[in-house]
Amino acid sequence: MFILEGSDTQFTFHITEKTKSGQVNDVDLTVYDKILLEMRYPNGVVEYEWSLENEENSSSNTHSYVKFEILSEATKWRSWKIRCDIWGVKDAQKVRFNFDTIQWEVLSSVKVPDGLQTTGSWTD
């Protein structure tokens, strides 16, 4: 997946677990103290905390969706590949939710040259 550098981005994940029999169950995220999206850039690690999003159209009372908001300041001047993991934290212990490390890339944003913003045309 690609993120545009210098833009606000929102990610929503549905956290589930698969049993040995192959059944997929929702994970109740409310039992954790916090959920983190850990983004590893070449020059450091940034962690984003969760925002719980209620499940709609669900017959259960579990909360298995987590939403992360990445603001433009976090990706400004960063255009390269990143590696991400989602963690549940409870009693200072971390549990990794994703099976494989997530691979993303921050793409360089496009800057409209001065003068073209007012003309309304890229061909002037």
Residue 69 confidence (pLDDT):
85
Spans of all domains in the chain: 2-119
Asked whether the predicted pLDDT for residue 117 surpasses 80, the reply is no
In tens, the pLDDT along 61-98 reads 558 888 888 887 777 777 788 899 999 999 989 999 98
Is residue 38 within 8 Å of residue 49, measured between CB atoms?
A: no
Query: Would you say the pTM of this structure is higher than 0.85?
Result: no
Sign of CA dihedral 85, 90, 93, 99: negative
The fold for domain 2-119 equals Immunoglobulin-like (2.60.40)
Is residue 37 within 8 Å of residue 83, measured between CB atoms?
A: no
Residue 6 confidence (pLDDT):
78
C-alpha torsion angle, residues 15, 21, 23, 28 (rounded to 10): -40
